[in-house]
Structure formats: structure tokens, C-alpha cells
Amino acid sequence: MSEIPAIALTVLIIVLAAAYGRRFGIGRELSIVGARSLIQILILASVIIILFNLPLYWSFLVLLVMAAIAGHTTYSRSGKLENSLPLAAASIAAASLLLLIPFFLAGIFPLEPRYVIPTGSILIGNAMNVSSLAIDRYRGEIKNKRGEVEAYLALGAHPGLAIAACLKQGILSALIPSIDNMRNLGLVWIPGVMTGMLLGGADPVEAASIQIAIFASIFAAGMIASNLLLYYSTDSFFTKAAQLREDLD
């Protein structure tokens, strides 16, 4: 029964961090964010308790809601690009689900809310981060390379061909943090899932194996989600007559 001291410690740290943060003018923000995160995570715990007693499809519904919220975050990053709210939510949901299913098919986890929700949410959260970075960079590339994109168009290239280099650059730069993380896995940091399992008393080899499976899935989900999003967003940068839009700010 360690929840009471853990929550007490959290509150204490948030209060102290907020007090300290006043020097940087972020005291107020820190206390709000801290309180908010505490409440959110407690609500999540309660939701999971409820889900434990509900049929499994409820867990998937919750994951869909998470994907929708993630999609909204990515959408804001895209500069509120036309159509990109449903596109972002759908890309993140599809990529995460695709990488979630094998864990249960392979029997790594039992198909229960206790496993579906946390694994799904890790995938969704990372797919969101990668997609946000990718769409932001994609848009920036297109804006900066306007001349090049129009040179392609002027030769009769389709929009997809004209911005292929921008798309590639967008995905590449969004994946760099993940690639670096993977390179340093176990050297600089012990990732969350393994930490959690170790703290929970699991065997280190089991913890490491599951961690690397999750890690690889996270990477793949991020790559697929961002690729889907960028690919299907391309049309939003152009008019019906294959003209690069002028209002990309």
C-alpha cells in the first residue's frame, strides 16, 4: 500500500517545483500542469478499474478516444490544415492498432484491459509525437521550398511528385529522436515499461524482451502514422488545379 506516500511525495514535489519555478516565471504554470497531471492520472486509474469490469470492447473505445485527442494535438501542430483533424486521428489510430494486435496474437500479453490500455496508449502517444513533428516539418519544407515545388509543377509533375522530397524530409526529421533513443537504449536510459516491470518484481530478461518489442512497435507505429498522415495531407497543400496554395502561413 504505497499509494498514499507516493501521492504525498508528488504533491510535495509539485509545490516545491512550482515555488522554485517562480524564478523563471513558470511557477503558476507548473502548479497548474502538475495538479492537472495528478488529477488526470488518478482519473485514468479509476477508468481502468471500471474498465476491468467491463467487456473488452470498452477498452478499445477508450483507446479510440485517446487517438482522437492525440489527433487533435497533431492537428494543432499542422497549422490547422484542412482535413487534417480526421486524418491525424485516423492515421494514429490505424498505425497504433496495427502494432498493438501482434502483442495479443503472439500471446505476449493476455487480451485483457490491464494490458490493452497501457500498451495501446504508449503506441498512440508516440505516434502522436512523431506525427506532430512530421507534419510541422512537412509544412515548413513546403513553404521554404516553394520555388522548387513550383519548378516541378511547371514541368507537369503531379503534386505528389512535386513534394516528394519535402515529405521524405518531414518523416526523416520526425524519426530522428526515435532513432537516437533506440541507439542509446539501455546505455543512457532504462525505458518506462522495463522500469515499471522491474519495479513490479519481474524477471529482468522478461522485462527487457517485452521492452524491446514495445520499443520496436513504437518506432514502427510512429513511422506508419506519420507516413499516412503526410501522404494523405498532400492534397490539402494544393488547389484542385494542382496549384500550390498561397495561404500556407
Partner 1 sequence: MEQAHIELKNVSKSVLRKVNNVKVRTQILSSLDLKVQQGELITIMGASGSGKSTLLRLINRLSEIDSGIILLNGRDIRDHNPMELRKKIGMVFQLPVVFRGSVRENIAFGMKLWKNDIDLDALADDAAIPKNLLDADAGQLSIGEKQRVCIARALANQPEVLLLDEPTSSLDYKAAGKIEMLLLDLRTKKNLTVLWVTHEREQAERIGGRRLILMEGRLEEGHV
Q: Which residue number, 98 or 242, has a Cβ lying nearer to partner 1? A: 242
Q: Which is closer to partner 1, CB of 14 or CB of 162? A: 162
Those residues whose C-beta lies under 8 Å from the C-beta of residue 165, and which sit 6 or more positions away, are 141, 145, 148
Q: Smaller CB distance to partner 1: residue 29 or 82?
A: 82
Spatial separation of the C-alpha atoms in residues 183 and 173, rounded to whole Å: 16
Q: Which is nearer to partner 1, 97 or 242 (CB)?
A: 242
Q: To the nearest whole angstrom, how small is the minimum distance from the Cβ of residue 143 to partner 1? A: 14
Of 195 and 239, CB closest to partner 1: 239
- Which amino acid is residue 237, in one-letter code? F
Q: How far is the CB of 234 from partner 1 (least distance, A)?
A: 15
Phi-psi region of 185 (alpha: psi -120 to 50; beta: other; left: phi over 0): beta
Which is nearer to partner 1, 33 or 157 (by Cβ)?
157
Residue 21 vs 235, nearer CB to partner 1: 235
Minimum CB distance to partner 1, residue 237 (Å): 14
Which cell numbers in the block locate residue 69?
485527442
**CA nearest to 51, candidates 119, 124, 115, 121:** 115
| Residue 243 beta carbon to partner 1: minimum distance, rounded to whole angstroms | 6
**At its nearest, how many Å lie between partner 1 and the CB of residue 58?**
48
Query: What residues make contact with partner 1 under the rule CB under 8 A?
Result: 147-148, 150-158, 161, 165, 239, 241-244, 246-247
CB of 113 to partner 1, least distance (A): 49
CB of 154 to partner 1, least distance (A): 5
Radius of gyration of the chain (CA): 21
Residues 34 and 25 sit within 8 Å (Cβ to Cβ)? no
